[in-house]
């Protein structure tokens, strides 16, 4: 007798975590827009506060709509549990403050989203948590940077801005040999393109604002726990393996086993730092996840069409997509990301800053804004916006040229996107000729 | 709490409390391949309600040392040895699946030590399919997959956990994956070979509660008739929507049901 198959990704994306609403029979997950929930009697209330019953007390701690989203992303990633947070940044912060305190250290890829880099570089050091940044393409660099007080290894599945493919199996091995967990930001890949837990990662962070919700209408984050890391054996995580005075000396590994991390993050971090997700946001993200596979496959298909077009253009000097010849991670991408490398990439224009500005201003289908992962195609010129304070040398150190353009490819008809890009290239050529 | 029984270290979850001789005691016994964490909610609840709670890790499981025991009778004797070590005279036993058979055997053989039993996700006999036994003997992950999937009702294949943020399928699978090699096989074989359950049930004299999942596919309700008929005046609660993993699928309903004997 063969074991039955688990439900597939597409099915989980539609159903995981949800049941028809027990109160009304509503098939769609209702938005439980309520700050708090009534207790039928005092003993029931006490049992909820003391983690004896399943249920909800106050929406900063848990909420029925958010719970569906949390269970759904945990199912899609193959973890034990998840927490929905106010933003992707809140999810990153929640993981860090659950695992460590002042005097701790993180080893992180140098190729991170700017917001994550800011948190690790400038903000957390004020609270006694330092980070060493290393080349994401060099697992040995991660190993070399680990210190006695290191408590986390962190990287993005596809690094920013050059789409460095994180060698999750190799870096997970480095982390595990040192008794440390590997956390990855899988925002640009989603569980449709990569399953980091199957490759050895222990924790996943998402900005659900991007491809998971998929329509640019909501801010939200998700923290997912694989349940695979053995916190007791590591011995480096007293927040999980020693009594917690903030909850009657509860020892999270003792009481929750594989779910120790995500339970501590909820019972302490969500409770005390309070960066919870709005139930309405959770509803919107759930709607997005229902079509995740359909959208992601089209995002990738369109991206391949656009990169192929750009490669042929005289005005373009480089197209940085890991599937293309010349990208240093082409082979690793084929191994770890066979379904595609997402829909966000950058390319370089001849003519530098002026050409980049002219290109962006000439587009009409692409929206000029600071976001990625929308159903609509997006564009930004880093040298004149997100990185405008940097000179050419500083930009180059970050892998960005003055003529670098970042695109987030949406779901439009690719012929219309190409027509729009032709308008931009014409303007860029003109600007380059005038400069 | 760590104690020693038969020369091996034993872990018992006690809600961080010492055993108080003035309080009634409840021992929780997990199912095959599991550990004490399946009882966290219930044990916390009954600890707050004035009981000594002792949620054991059977030998070789969770945080307990030693080789896994190979028969329900041996496990029952071990449970009695645990309460002897803790100097508890009389206990109520709550067991799930394999643990329910251990509780039943204890009640039949040590009636003066057992004041009540609650059998959760139970039946007897408890035959185990060759597919599961073979996979478990080979330490094949397919054993974990079969038990995880068939352990939940069809509706819960997609979760719907009332315990926020926990993917119930994933957490159960991870618990199986944490079991030491061979442990699940010994447990499943012990269930399969325990054929004395109905006869032992007839000897039970203490209040007995059966908590069954209406959609249990591993120990279906219809298979419990012989057990129900053998036990004198059992209290039977069938929880709608629940499969075999009742502590996860219906934690609140199980808690409410347990109050009838605890």
Can you tell me the ipTM of this complex?
A: 0.96
Q: Enter the tokens of residue B50.
A: 């004035």
Q: In chain B, pLDDT over 70 holds for what percent of residues?
A: 100
The pLDDT confidence band at residue A423, using thresholds 50, 70 and 90, is very high
In this model, does residue A435 exceed pLDDT 60? Answer: no
Q: Do residue B158 and residue A251 have CB atoms under 8 angstroms apart?
A: no
Give yes or no for A262 touching B (CB within 8 A): yes
Look at residue A5 in the predicted model and tell me its pLDDT. 84
Look at residue A398 in the predicted model and tell me its pLDDT. 72
B contacts of A2 (beta carbons < 8 Å)? 131, 142
Mean pLDDT of chain A: 95
**For the residues A133-159, what does the mean pLDDT come to?**
97
Instruction: Tell me the CB-side half-sphere exposure of residue A202, using CA atoms within 13 A.
Output: 27
Nearest to A258 among B150, B161, B174 (CB): B174
Q: In chain A, pLDDT over 70 holds for what percent of residues?
A: 99
In this model, does residue A4 exceed pLDDT 80? Answer: no
A contacts of B161 (beta carbons < 8 Å)? 17, 54, 67, 71
In this model, does residue A242 exceed pLDDT 60? Answer: yes
pLDDT (tens digit per residue) in A257-304: 999 999 999 999 999 999 999 999 999 999 999 999 999 999 999 999
B contacts of A258 (beta carbons < 8 Å)? 171, 174-175, 178
Look at residue A387 in the predicted model and tell me its pLDDT. 79
Q: Do residue A3 and residue B146 have CB atoms under 8 angstroms apart?
A: yes
Look at residue A386 in the predicted model and tell me its pLDDT. 79
Q: Do residue B163 and residue A54 have CB atoms under 8 angstroms apart?
A: yes
**For the residues A231-238, what does the mean pLDDT come to?**
98
pLDDT (tens digit per residue) in A153-180: 999 999 988 899 999 999 999 999 999 9
A157 neighbors A196 (Cβ within 8 angstroms): yes
A373 neighbors A209 (Cβ within 8 angstroms): yes
Look at residue A434 in the predicted model and tell me its pLDDT. 67
Look at residue A23 in the predicted model and tell me its pLDDT. 87
Look at residue A392 in the predicted model and tell me its pLDDT. 79
- DSSP letters along B171-240, please? HHHHHHHHSPTTHHHHHHHHHHH---HHHHHTT--S-EEEEEETT-SSS-GGGGHHHHHHSSS-EEEEET
Q: Are strands B8-13 and B2-5 parallel, antiparallel or unpaired?
A: antiparallel
What residues pair up with A348 in beta bridges, in sequence order? A318, A404
Look at residue A217 in the predicted model and tell me its pLDDT. 96
Q: Closest chain B residue to A242 measured between Cα atoms?
A: B16
CA distance A198 to A337: 13
Q: Do residue B171 and residue A259 have CB atoms under 8 angstroms apart?
A: yes
Neighbours of A334 (CB within 10 A): 13
pLDDT (tens digit per residue) in A175-199: 999 999 999 999 999 999 999 999 9
B contacts of A54 (beta carbons < 8 Å)? 41, 161-164, 251-252
Mean pLDDT of chain B: 97
Query: How far B141 CA sits from the closest chain A CA (Å)?
Result: 10
Q: Which of residues 184-203 of B touch A (CB under 8 A)?
A: none
**For the residues B110-137, what does the mean pLDDT come to?**
97
Q: Which domains does chain A have, with CATH numbers?
A: 9-289 (3.40.640.10), 293-434 (3.90.1150.10)
Q: Do residue B166 and residue A74 have CB atoms under 8 angstroms apart?
A: yes
Look at residue A2 in the predicted model and tell me its pLDDT. 61
Q: Do residue B251 and residue A19 have CB atoms under 8 angstroms apart?
A: no
CA distance B92 to B52: 10
A55 neighbors B251 (Cβ within 8 angstroms): no
B253: left (phi over 0), alpha (psi -120 to 50) or beta: alpha
CA distances from A326 to A111, A319, A330, A331, A337 (A): 19, 9, 8, 10, 17
A contacts of B146 (beta carbons < 8 Å)? 1, 3-4
In this model, does residue A1 exceed pLDDT 60? Answer: no
Look at residue B121 in the predicted model and tell me its pLDDT. 98
pLDDT (tens digit per residue) in A19-53: 998 889 999 999 999 999 999 999 999 999 999 99
Comparing B179 with A393, which gets the higher pLDDT? B179
- Does residue A253 have a cis peptide bond before it, meaning omega lies within 30 degrees of 0? no
B contacts of A53 (beta carbons < 8 Å)? 41, 45, 251-252, 255
pLDDT (tens digit per residue) in A356-395: 999 999 999 999 999 999 999 999 998 888 777 777 787 7
Q: Which of residues 40-99 of A touch B (CB under 8 A)?
A: 46-47, 50-56, 61-63, 66-67, 70-72, 74-75, 78-84
Stated pTM of the model: 0.97
A17 neighbors A75 (Cβ within 8 angstroms): yes
**For the residues B227-235, what does the mean pLDDT come to?**
95
CA distances from B124 to B79, B210, B261 (A): 20, 12, 21
Look at residue A99 in the predicted model and tell me its pLDDT. 98
A contacts of B145 (beta carbons < 8 Å)? 3-4, 6
B contacts of A46 (beta carbons < 8 Å)? 48
Nearest to B44 among A50, A56, A81 (CB): A50
Number of inter-chain CB pairs under 8 A, A vs B? 150
Query: How far A2 CA sits from the closest chain B CA (Å)?
Result: 7
Q: Which domains does chain B have, with CATH numbers?
A: 2-258 (3.40.50.1820)
Look at residue A275 in the predicted model and tell me its pLDDT. 98
The pLDDT confidence band at residue A3, using thresholds 50, 70 and 90, is low
């Amino acid at each position: 007798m063969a074991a039955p198959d688990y439900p597939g990704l597409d099915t989980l994306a539609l159903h995981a975590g949800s049941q028809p609403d027990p109160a009304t029979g509503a098939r769609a997950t209702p938005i439980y827009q309520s700050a708090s929930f009534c207790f039928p009697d005092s003993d029931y209330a006490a049992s909820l506060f003391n983690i004896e019953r399943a249920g909800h007390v106050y929406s900063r701690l848990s909420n029925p709509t958010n719970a569906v989203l949390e269970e759904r992303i945990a199912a899609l990633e193959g973890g034990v549990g998840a927490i929905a947070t106010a933003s992707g940044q809140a999810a990153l912060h929640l993981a860090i403050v659950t695992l460590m305190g002042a005097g701790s250290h993180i080893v992180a890829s140098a190729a991170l989203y700017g917001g994550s880099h800011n948190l690790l570089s400038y903000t957390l050091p004020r609270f006694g948590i330092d980070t060493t940044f290393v080349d994401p393409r060099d697992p040995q660099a991660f190993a070399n940077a680990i210190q006695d007080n290191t408590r986390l290894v962190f990287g993005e599945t596809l690094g920013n801005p050059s789409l460095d493919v994180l060698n999750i199996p190799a870096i997970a091995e480095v982390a595990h040999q040192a008794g440390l967990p590997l956390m990855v930001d899988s925002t640009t890949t989603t569980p449709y393109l990569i399953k980091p837990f199957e490759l050895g990662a222990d924790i996943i962070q998402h900005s659900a604002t991007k491809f998971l919700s998929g329509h640019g209408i909501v801010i939200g984050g998700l923290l997912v726990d694989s349940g695979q890391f053995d916190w007791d054996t590591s011995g480096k995580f007293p927040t999980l393996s020693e009594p917690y005075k903030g909850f009657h000396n509860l020892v999270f590994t003792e009481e929750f086993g594989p779910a120790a991390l995500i339970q501590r993050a909820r019972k302490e971090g969500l409770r005390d730092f309070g960066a919870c997700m709005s139930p309405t946001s959770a509803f919107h993200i759930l709607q997005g996840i229902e079509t995740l596979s359909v959208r992601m496959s089209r995002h990738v298909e369109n991206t391949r069409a656009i990169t192929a077009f750009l490669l042929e253009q005289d005005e373009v000097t480089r197209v940085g997509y890991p599937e293309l010849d010349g990208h240093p991670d082409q082979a690793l991408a084929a191994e770890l990301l066979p379904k595609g490398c997402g829909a966000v990439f950058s390319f370089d224009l001849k003519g530098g800053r002026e050409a980049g500005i002219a290109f962006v201003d000439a587009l009409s289908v692409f929206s000029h804004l600071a976001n990625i992962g929308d159903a609509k195609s997006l564009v930004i010129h880093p040298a004149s916006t997100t990185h405008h304070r940097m000179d050419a040398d500083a930009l180059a150190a970050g892998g960005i040229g003055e003529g670098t353009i970042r695109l987030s490819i949406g779901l439009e008809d690719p012929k219309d996107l190409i027509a729009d890009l032709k308008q931009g290239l014409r303007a860029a050529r003109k600007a380059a000729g005038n400069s | 709490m760590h104690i020693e029984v038969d020369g091996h270290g034993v872990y018992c979850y006690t809600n961080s409390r010492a055993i108080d001789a003035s309080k009634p005691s409840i021992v929780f016994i997990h199912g095959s391949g599991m550990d004490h964490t399946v009882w966290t909610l219930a044990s916390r609840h009954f600890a707050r309600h004035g009981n000594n709670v002792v949620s054991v890790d059977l030998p070789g499981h969770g945080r307990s040392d030693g080789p896994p025991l190979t028969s329900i009778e041996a496990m029952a004797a071990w449970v009695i040895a645990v309460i002897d070590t803790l100097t508890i005279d009389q206990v109520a036993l709550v067991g799930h699946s394999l643990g329910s058979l251990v509780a039943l055997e204890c009640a039949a053989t040590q009636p003066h030590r057992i004041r009540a039993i609650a059998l959760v996700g139970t039946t007897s006999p408890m035959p185990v399919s060759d597919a599961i036994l073979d996979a478990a003997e080979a330490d094949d992950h397919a054993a974990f997959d079969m038990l995880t999937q068939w352990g939940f009702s069809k509706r819960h294949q997609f979760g719907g956990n009332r315990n926020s943020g926990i993917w119930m399928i994933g957490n159960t699978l991870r618990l199986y994956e944490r079991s030491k090699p061979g442990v699940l096989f010994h447990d499943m074989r012990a269930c399969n070979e325990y054929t004395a359950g109905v006869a032992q049930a007839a000897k039970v004299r203490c209040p007995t509660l059966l908590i069954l999942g209406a959609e249990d596919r591993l120990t279906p309700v219809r298979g419990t008739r012989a057990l129900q008929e053998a036990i004198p005046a059992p209290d039977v609660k069938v929880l709608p929507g629940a499969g075999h993993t009742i502590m996860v699928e219906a934690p609140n309903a199980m808690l409410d049901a347990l109050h009838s004997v605890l």
